[in-house]
Amino acid sequence: MSCIRFGLLGPFLVARHDQLISINAGKQRAVLARLLLQANRVVSDRQLIRTVWGDEPPPTAARTLHSLISRIRRNLPFCADGPVLTRHTSGYLLAIAAEQVDAHRFRRLVAEARAADGLGRTADVAAYLSEALELWRGDPLAGVPVTPIIAAECARLEEQRRTAVSDRIDADLLLGRHVELIAELRALATEQPECERVWWQLMLALHRSGRSAEALLAYQRVREVLSAELGADPTPQLQDLHRRILSADPELAAPPHR
């Protein structure tokens, strides 16, 4: 295990042997965050400048960037397997083991879950995704000054998290864990009222838990939300689940709990 780790999936952090290292300057955090997100790839000066100042950088931006890089080098704690920040013709490269950055560990675990899914190993899918989601500590890149690039990175990470949550719930449903999922799914439906996948999962979990009447009420609720917010009807998949619950389709029966 490396002596230094970086956290992007929540408040920005740098730690050595679990002792936090302070990087208080917001611009340094922004530069380091972008280098970490694109670890082991050259990030151009132009990209780093836009990360810090957006589309209208000051005339001194290039000079200030080089100063920020120097400070980051001084702030990064030394250890044998720590990151190495080097200058290239067009930018900078942060050479680092992926396992030192929580965002890259998250993506690796998600990839392992997908591989397990392809092999039909549903329990492993749920386990990998649960481990991946445990890496999240809050809103991504919290404490990094928000520019358009940082905002876009946050949105991308959040979308990856939401997908991982939904995929994990699908795996849990296949494992017969529907009863345990209901509270979580109700909370997700409140947070994401226009996400039909969440409502589909909630309806199925309720039906399999012997609460079909509540599942039908959930369908009425999402239909109202979609009509009011989007002027749309539920997707054919959601309508089909509604019809199958009404007809007590035996194929919706819960699998054995695992």
Strand order in the sheet with 91-95: 42-44, 91-95, 84-87
Q: State pLDDT tens for residues 204-242.
A: 999 999 999 999 999 999 999 999 888 899 999 999 999
CA terminus-to-terminus distance, the chain: 32
Handedness of CA 68, 71, 77, 79 (dihedral sign): positive
CATH class belonging to 179-258: mainly alpha
- CA–CA separation, 115 and 128 (whole Å): 10
Tokens of 30: 């922004």
- CA–CA separation, 113 and 106 (whole Å): 11
pLDDT over 70 for what percent of the chain?
97
Q: State pLDDT tens for residues 85-130.
A: 899 988 999 999 889 999 999 999 999 999 999 999 999 999 999 9
> What's 251's DSSP letter?
G
CATH class belonging to 4-100: mainly alpha
Return the pLDDT at 254.
82
Q: What is the dihedral of CA 140, 14, 32, 87, to 10 degrees?
A: -150
Q: Domain-by-domain residue ranges, the chain? A: 4-100, 179-258
Q: Can you tell me the mean pLDDT for 171-179? A: 96
Show Cβ contacts of residue 228 under 8 Å, excluding neighbours closer than 6 positions: none
- CA–CA separation, 102 and 176 (whole Å): 30
